[in-house]
Structure 1
Amino acid sequence: MTTAPASSPPGWAARPTLWARWPTRTRMIVLVIAIDLLAALLSCGVIVLNARSAVEVEMKAALSNVELLVSDTIDLAQAASPDTLLQTLRLRVQGLRHVRVTVLDAAGAVVPAPSHRQRRDAYDAPHWFVALIAPEPRQHELPIVVQGKRLGTARITTQPRDEIDEVWGYAVSLSLASLIVSLGLLAALYVAFGRVLAPLTQVADGLTQLERQDYTARLAPPASRELAVIAARFNSVAQALSETRAANGRLNRQLLSAQDDERRATALELHDEFGPCLFALEANAASVIRMAAAEAAPDRGKLTQRAEEISAIVGQVQTLNRDLLNRLRPHALGQVPLPDCLVLLLRDFTRRHSGTSFTGTFDRLGAGYGDVTDLTVFRCIQESMTNAVRHGGAARVTVEAGEVQDGSGSHLAIEVHDDGRGITPDHRVGLGLSGMRERVEALGGTLALDNGRPGTVVRIMIPFESERSEDSSAIPAA
């Protein structure tokens, strides 16, 4: 059995590294410095390799030239005395670059120089650089022979320090020049990165404004094309948030107005409809009480008439109560299939608006799609038919609702078509239409209002899950 790994301390996984905590400009400068250092190391490696090869070649050439010089001197001084020859040779090889020549007599003693020239014993190149560049020292002894007699020996030893000093001076000059160029480049990059990244700081400030629900934040388009696209998208998002906030404010105000209108309409209906009925019930009840309290026997016919009037008034009250409750919340939804609820809705409109014909086709509808979806379908059809009668003056209203399948999934397609006056140029969106749109969009659907020539067409598409439709088909019929 596997065990779950121990949980890390809170905030450990989200703790940023030192590199992540650095500003972007600092990280970019550090990357440039790292690239410069790598390039400097590679350059130093190339310089060392080339210098080693160049010093080696220079030492070979210097050794060959000195050997020729010694041989020529010996050949030219064949007639001179041995001491004069050795002194002449010692004088000619004194102070040569890249080599040191020591003249030995026949006994092996060093022949002193006739004049003391200042020899260079101090060098500029450090020892570690000399160790990298200097080749293996070479030594060659050339015999001094005159007329078949050996007068001494010329000992030639390579001395690469002069050549190494030249290479060191070149490397130092090149390094200083590269350093100055790199520092100038870093300064230019620091300024350039600051200018390039400045719009990102503006974006961060703008996002802070959005976080504080200040949707008036806007960014000026920067010179960079990529950052200009980001600024344009930011402004679009800020504008959309501002419009959404304004729309929510309007919706809240409309909701409050709708609630007040609904309460006002309910209060008016209770006053105009239920008030007279209750007054009539009270009058008939008082009449029955008076007849019952009279000394003479009550008139059975009048009692029967009063009872019938009370029964009729109670029936009227029940009808009014059912209509009021049905307007507040359709009692059949969730109890009977959705198509049957819509049929009852059409019958109710036909009863209340006898001058208008209402027909509907609901064969392709399932039994139900959930409380919210069913209520949305019911309210949208109810509001569309109300608008057709109240604002369009329609004589005929046709409703079609059913399931459709397309590439994006399953949808409920609803279409309400009337033959009324249609959409006028000065048409304004009222509470009913805006409420329908909000209901539909809350479910991920769309609502379109078009001229039907004649009349108006309301088209609604609401996505739904086919599994829910199959599960809801088990709702028993009323």
Structure 2
Amino acid sequence: MIHVEDRFGLDIIRWIAVLVPQRRLSLNGLATAFSVLGGLALCGAVMAVLMLNARRSIEAETAAAFHAARQAAAQRMTFTHDAHQMIREATRVAEEIGAMPHVAVDIVFPGRIARAAPPAVGSVLSSPEVPEWFDALLRPPLQMDQIQVPHPNLPSNVLIVSDPSARITELWNNFRLVVPMLVMAVFGVVGLIVAVNRLILRRLRRLLDALAAVRRGDMSCRAPDDCLTEFSALARGVNDLATHLQAEHRENDLLQTRLLTLSEAERAKIASDLHDEMGPRLFALNAALAEARDAVQSVNGAGRGQLDEALRATEIHAHAVRDSARDAINTLRPMLLGYGSLTELLGELIAQFSEIAPDVNIRLTGECVLDSDELSELSIYRFVRESLLNAVRHGKAGNIRVSLRTEHGPGPGGEIRRSPGHGSDAGCVSQIVVRVSDDGCGPPTAPVRHGYGLIGIRDRARALGATYVAPCRDGAWTITELRMPFQCLFLP
């Protein structure tokens, strides 16, 4: 069951959503706006209540004073034959009644008015002038009555008029003091609400920053603990989630590494089987073809030409099978690890591409001795080969640069590892950066689906904890990088 207050709150939210349909609302802005509006509304309500109570009080006091003045004048005005005595008595009664609050008394004679007393005691106070709007809000309707002086030869009246000017002036003086204090108190509360809201939002922003870091892949980021119980519980929840995701990512990375290792081992086995099985058979086939060509030389007759053409076609197909097998073996096992450093193997790869594309200038800079495993070296080799192939085939590059360098610093997770026995500078372990730059046309501006080569590089990098930077333009050059965490020693 929805209460009226809940419906009212929902109506306000719907009204705000309709008013600002395309913008996201800020909690800080909403809290500040509602606090200011609520403070102003509260201040206005309090002042309205004060004004209403003051008006009712003035009406009651003025009515009571006017009624008392009428009764006093009626009781004190007694008949006497002496006109002067009667005037003195009327004047004395008027002065006594005029001393009462909220009333003014005048003695009215034919043709003139003789004021016997001031309108009210408050009219002579040295207070500032009351504004007209304030006087109009508080002044009740005018009450007036005339008491006839009981003398046949002295036609005069005692005029009694309600006059709450003194009370209104007193309330105005109080109003000038109370309203600023009320406004200051309301805005003080609003400021306190805004400060508490910012304090809460600051703590929420810390939690959001931690969640954003986890979303970016930084599983080592943790939310700071808080002195407030609720935010401390939220921080623990975020940290537990990050710890769980970190463990899951480590398990996934380990699984990917194992799968990659098994895949490379299977590829190596297939390459070895192809080499061991097809190598001798192709050698025997070529030897048999050579013997057959020698035997053809001793054949005479019309069938010699046809036999010679058949042997030549067989040799061509045998060479094609040999080249296909060699390409398949090189694809499955692109380099012979253990027969040279990674830099030397990359140099041989560049030499192969230079033979394929002699018009392209390919240069290798940098050298490093890697304390790494075979899988990491193979991943770097595949990255360079795929990048060179894309630059030559798709980028139509004329100049390609392949650089190797090391960047020292904290390793993954922020730890510093040391390589044994190479000095202080060489001992810091970070990563090797392999960069391939070309002056070709670069990647297409429109988003396209990446080929399997780039997808394979990205998956390998993620499995090995490396960072792969996809091809992007930097001025006139297209740059792609692979940052592999290693223990290495740079050789100048």
Q: TM-score by structure 2 length?
A: 0.47
Q: Indicate the structure (1 or 2) with the bigger Cα radius of gyration.
A: 1
> With CA pairs under 8 Å and 6+ residues apart, which has the higher RCO, 1 or 2?
2
Q: TM-score by structure 1 length?
A: 0.48
